[in-house]
Amino acid sequence: MNALRNKVAIIAGASSGIGHATARLFASQGAKVVVGARRQAPLDALVAEIAAAGGEAFALAGDVCEEGYSRSLVEAAMDRFGGLDVAFNNVGRLGTLLPAPQISLADWRQTVDTNLTSAFLAAKYQIPAMVSRGGGSLIFTSTFVGHTAGFPGLSAYAASKSGLIGLAQCLAVEFARQGIRVNTILPGATDTPMAREFMNTPEALDFITSLYPARRIASPEEIARSVLYLASDLSSFTTGSALLVDGGVSINRT
């Protein structure tokens, strides 16, 4: 199956975790991928891995909070591969894990800029490129935190990630007639470097896994497969959705 054959995709936050797994999966499904993150070395290693498996990829490091970087990623997709069909905006920052009154304004703004404003900047450049291509699929990584459940110390993270759902819904309505689909994916706890910041002791890991019916967290590859669904024509009538891929944590009461 080549669900993304002849498609060009941008994956932001691709140096590790869900973004890294998604880039490899997209490439294996026929997509040409532009991968972005802050660090160049992990991106170069990812490009080499994709090339060794017979795929095509290009890496561009930068800061998603800077508007010029969002523009450069789109320009790279168009210059290197001829256009843009799919964008997976997967960056995220937990922020300082403190009660809300103790969070500094600077840290709040940095978390919101990283998680939410960066998505606006990405869409600002990705959507026109997709429109010129005749359509496309835009995907944001949100979370169930702040949507179906709250956790202490995560107010900035929850607020900014929940904002992605509203952003996606408005963009989905604005650009549906131009063939653009916009969705958010809401993973549960996943074995990524960012999640390990939160699950940084055996006790914390035990507590988190106890919240899940299967008593385990997800692998990045499991989340990537749901991203592939939203990216591909398999989800051709899905737009404006908030897709929970949370292992049942939102409904678990056991």
Q: In whole angstroms, give the CA distance from residue 227 to residue 36.
A: 17
pLDDT per residue as tens digits for the range 55-79: 999 999 999 999 999 999 999 999 9
Catalytic residue list = 157
Residue 222, φ and ψ in degrees, nearest 5: -65, -40
Query: For residue 213, which amino acid is it?
Result: P
pLDDT per residue as tens digits for the range 87-111: 999 999 999 989 999 999 999 999 9
CATH for 8-190+222-245 (3.30.420.40, 3.40.50.11540, 3.40.50.720, 3.40.50.10470): 3.40.50.720
174's CB contacts (< 8 A; 6+ apart) are: none
pTM for this model (two decimals): 0.95
Domain boundaries, the chain: 8-190+222-245
Q: In whole angstroms, give the CA distance from residue 23 to residue 149.
A: 29
With beta carbons less than 8 A apart as the criterion, state whether 186 and 242 touch: yes
Residue 183, φ and ψ in degrees, nearest 5: -140, 160
